[in-house]
Amino acid sequence: MDYLQAGGPTLLGSNYEPVNQKVWEVVKESGPVTGLFHPYEMKLAEKIHECMPWVEMYRCLASGTEADMVAIRIARTYTGKQRIVKVGGAYHGWSDQLVYSLHIPYTKTFEAHGIPKEVSENTSEFFPGDVAGLRKVLEENEKAGGTAAVIIEPFGPESGTRPVAKDFAAKVRELCDEFHTLLIFDEVVTAFRVGPGGAQGYFNVKPDLTVFGKIVAGGYPMAGGVGGSEEIMSCIAAGVKAGKKKAYVGGTLTANPLSCAAGYFAIDEIIRQDAAMKAGENGDKLCDGIQKLIDKYELPFVTWNTGSIVHFEVSGVMYLSAADPDVFKKIPERQQYIEEFGAALTANGVITLAGSRIYTSMADNDETIAETLNAFEEVFSNIER
């Protein structure tokens, strides 16, 4: 039972044949790559625009990591400011500047070895959901030339592992306007998964730039992209082009026919099949079932979901505070609990994201959910209290 679902993109289910067929037709005709533009690049961009009208222009890239890198580069070019603000603990790919304070807020360069210290000098953070804290950071940054962008996942960092208030994204938007800072939504997981309009449609909050990943190639390789208004996106340039400020972006294999066709057909099918709704209902059922088992076995665990993104916490490793002097001792211990829990689920046939997250898909059904809950029960009933 695969609930990792490649980290989220396969909302239609694993290896979805109707999309595979269509992708194969395109590859048979064009080959997997040409290095030129391809009609499916345009079709994919138009499809994304149809779902998220604030994405007026779209640039294909190779991964979510690249798309996050490009988004902050565009923000700096457009605003002429240097500083970037992220949520402490958030994951926005593994690029030099964004691996700062990964997973646990204010752990700074704990997971950023092999990177020169000065690379993090322009990155600041605030606690998840802490709007007043963000204001303070933005005020502080004003003294150092201002903030180019605030980057958030609108449902909270790590796909909502640390949930935020419903008006969080709107409040961040207001602050960005006040401080003339661009707002970047990282929708690598939420785009199309929480509904056709992504998190921006759900909250009805306009980002200046949207970052896409995995799902824009339907789970096929070379999956990433960034989009926004024509004015802001026009900062991107590749090749030799004099006369204006440009954010340099490249990538030989980006926008290849295979990835673009796969993304186009997958998103088209997700919308036609109402896959986000179906996967979300499966997430609700699974979460309800896990909660009943937590109650039955009186375990100190927590579960909640945002539709098809189901969370469960057994050791709270991501909730430790960097202010705790023993934090670096506690991390490996808590990490071990969660790894053992994830391994026990795997041994019972259920693959999750690191023992703490489940991505449901349209392909789950009452039978597979019942089977999954049996596996959870088997693990829960064997936990020593």
User: Interface with ligand PLP by CB under 6 A: which residues?
Assistant: 7, 63-65, 68, 91-93, 153, 186, 188-189, 213-214, 224
Smallest distance, ligand PLP to C-beta of residue 28, A: 27
Measure the CA–CA gap between 229 and 235, rounded to whole angstroms: 11
Smallest distance, ligand PLP to C-beta of residue 220, A: 12
Nearer to ligand PLP (CB atom), residue 213 or residue 280? 213
Smallest distance, ligand PLP to C-beta of residue 92, A: 5
Smallest distance, ligand PLP to C-beta of residue 197, A: 17
Neighbours of 274 (CB within 10 A): 13
- DSSP H helical ranges for 219-326: 230-233, 257-272, 275-296
Q: Which residue has the tokens 């790590």?
A: 158
Nearer to ligand PLP (CB atom), residue 83 or residue 103? 103
Nearer to ligand PLP (CB atom), residue 9 or residue 289? 9
Q: Which of 159, 373, 161, 201 is nearest to 282 (CA)?
A: 373
Nearer to ligand PLP (CB atom), residue 354 or residue 370? 354
Residue 183, H or E segment: strand 182-186
Q: Is residue 141 a contact partner of residue 85, using CB atoms and an 8 Å limit?
A: yes
Looking at residue 98, the DSSP 8-state letter turns out to be: T
Nearer to ligand PLP (CB atom), residue 93 or residue 128? 93
Smallest distance, ligand PLP to C-beta of residue 9, A: 9
Nearer to ligand PLP (CB atom), residue 7 or residue 251? 7
Composition of the chain by helix, strand, coil, percent to 5: 45, 15, 40
Smallest distance, ligand PLP to C-beta of residue 296, A: 32
Q: Exposed (0-12), middle (13-18) or buried (19+): which is 193, by Cβ within 10 Å? A: buried
Q: Which of 333, 325, 286, 331 is nearest to 309 (CA)?
A: 286
Shortest-Cβ-distance residue relative to ligand PLP: 64
Q: Is residue 368 a contact partner of residue 1, using CB atoms and an 8 Å limit?
A: yes
Q: Kindly calculate the radius of gyration of the chain based on its CA atoms and give it in whole angstroms.
A: 21
Smallest distance, ligand PLP to C-beta of residue 102, A: 11
Nearer to ligand PLP (CB atom), residue 196 or residue 224? 224
Smallest distance, ligand PLP to C-beta of residue 258, A: 16
Nearer to ligand PLP (CB atom), residue 65 or residue 181? 65
User: What is the number of helices (H) and of strands (E) in the chain?
Assistant: 12, 12
